[in-house]
Structure 1
């Protein structure tokens, strides 16, 4: 993956779509230019260019003049991205202030249901949603959790909130065990930086993802794409509280764990 592709993926977390990222990166490289020059050099339709410029200006990433022709210029990256983060922080504070009242109102119109022992299953689509669910499972647990997945999946998790969730789980006396496989010694330090309770390297039954909490929750997926795109909407998982499935997968993970080697011995 080229640096431009990596930056385009990273900027998507700040609300930039592919064309927006292309325009912003292009302006950083070109400096102050007219819209016509910018769209020609980047081979972007002028209509799309104007739409992206309006969006980038509203985000605080560029400035444009009122002159004819219009001159556009990228804001310094640190300043621009900080502006976006501050706006997001303000939105979160607003949601936190409103959430208690909204929850109370929603509970008033929610139909009460009798507790049931029937197992539930749900499908979650999109990597952002998947990692959010994995993080929630880890953060709230005080038990043993196995994370059995590909090394690419582990490397992607480092760029999410999951490392902080693992830290919270360990503070709550939880035990997070990561099991993955790689032939590359260079990747071992990168895998280890999630700071799980323990990390082991061993053969996996498939290139799939399995996160299981002892006696409580299970997350599973089929074969995972190796791309580092954190916004891949084609990735999906199954989430369940089925006791039978949880116990079977927990036993499998325990078996795989015993056969694996501690990463500390391989580094």
Structure 2
């Protein structure tokens, strides 16, 4: 390495990351761990500042003390922080690598248990029902929780639709990146389908998430609400929830295969697409 390269390398080490970059990294990491926005900010604050009391954490985040104590209990139960034996007790963040490994181990165990349960229960269910499977009768389901909603979107992307519209916020796109949705989009495109994504704001820091989502085309448009509309030629997942990032457990959506409703919403999305402008990703 030349002297000039060494000096340039030293200069790079002295560059302080911008607050925007710090927030982006923190949001991406804590979303992967399944934390909501406030929990993620709390965990990242502890990593940056070191152990502090729940009361001080509430003050730093400008949230109610009772809410802060409940949040600390949840983060502790999930294995992301530990508590000191001092008085008052201090919140000690778990190392990011260990936190990620613990989260991965927990999810793998849950997935294994779920698969084993499915092998046992599905044959039993089929043995006690007599209804014909695959009925075309229109149906509606209320989905409770972001995980279940994303699972329904993943299933929607598995059909043979030629076009799927995804109309949602940029924050929702950032969360979708941590699900199986990008992989399902890629497989749909391999089958000859297209995914048209319409987002609400043109924020340059969201470009990496837009790229990773793997949508065929992306456009910027005026969304009819702060929720989401994911629609294929056969299925619809739709929600109209403000601040969908605040608490995943309070995220609700409607899922249906009703043709009349699907045709109406599909026409609306087509119109939104025509009136939107391209986003260069």
TM-score by length of 2: 0.66
Following superposition, the deviation at residue 228 of structure 1 comes to 3.1
* Shift in CA distance, 203/15, structure 1 to aligned 2, threshold 3 Å: closer
Q: Secondary structure at the match of 1:211?
A: strand
Conserved in 2, the CA contact under 8 Å of 1:20 and 1:52?
Answer: no
* Shift in CA distance, 57/150, structure 1 to aligned 2, threshold 3 Å: closer
Q: 2:180 aligns with which of 124, 146, 161?
A: 161
How many residues in Structure 1 have an aligned counterpart in Structure 2?
Answer: 247
Cα deviation digits, residues 104-128 of structure 1 (max 9, x gap): 122223x211465431112223333
Following superposition, the deviation at residue 203 of structure 1 comes to 3.4
CA distance in structure 2 between the aligned counterparts of 1:219 and 1:38, rounded to whole angstroms:
42
Which segments of 5 or more consecutive residues in structure 1 lack a partner in the other structure?
32-36
CA distance in structure 2 between the aligned counterparts of 1:128 and 1:259, rounded to whole angstroms:
31
Which segments of 5 or more consecutive residues in structure 2 lack a partner in the other structure?
1-19, 59-64
* Shift in CA distance, 157/229, structure 1 to aligned 2, threshold 3 Å: farther
CA distance in structure 1 between the aligned counterparts of 2:150 and 2:269, rounded to whole angstroms:
20
Q: Indicate the residue corresponding to 2:238 in structure 1.
A: 220
Following superposition, the deviation at residue 23 of structure 1 comes to 8.6
Q: Secondary structure at the match of 2:157?
A: helix
CA distance in structure 1 between the aligned counterparts of 2:91 and 2:224, rounded to whole angstroms:
53
Following superposition, the deviation at residue 170 of structure 1 comes to 2.0
TM-score by length of 1: 0.69
Q: 1:203 aligns with which of 222, 225, 229?
A: 222
Q: 1:239 aligns with which of 255, 264, 273?
A: 255
Following superposition, the deviation at residue 11 of structure 1 comes to 7.2
* Shift in CA distance, 258/230, structure 1 to aligned 2, threshold 3 Å: same
CA distance in structure 2 between the aligned counterparts of 1:40 and 1:191, rounded to whole angstroms:
34
Q: Indicate the residue corresponding to 2:119 in structure 1.
A: 100
Following superposition, the deviation at residue 196 of structure 1 comes to 0.4
Conserved in 2, the CA contact under 8 Å of 1:148 and 1:211?
Answer: yes
CA distance in structure 2 between the aligned counterparts of 1:103 and 1:120, rounded to whole angstroms:
21
Q: Does residue 1:147 correspond to 2:166, yes or no?
A: yes
Q: RMSD between aligned alpha carbons?
A: 4.3
Cα deviation digits, residues 193-213 of structure 1 (max 9, x gap): 222011122334444421111
Cα deviation digits, residues 79-102 of structure 1 (max 9, x gap): 233133123213323432442232
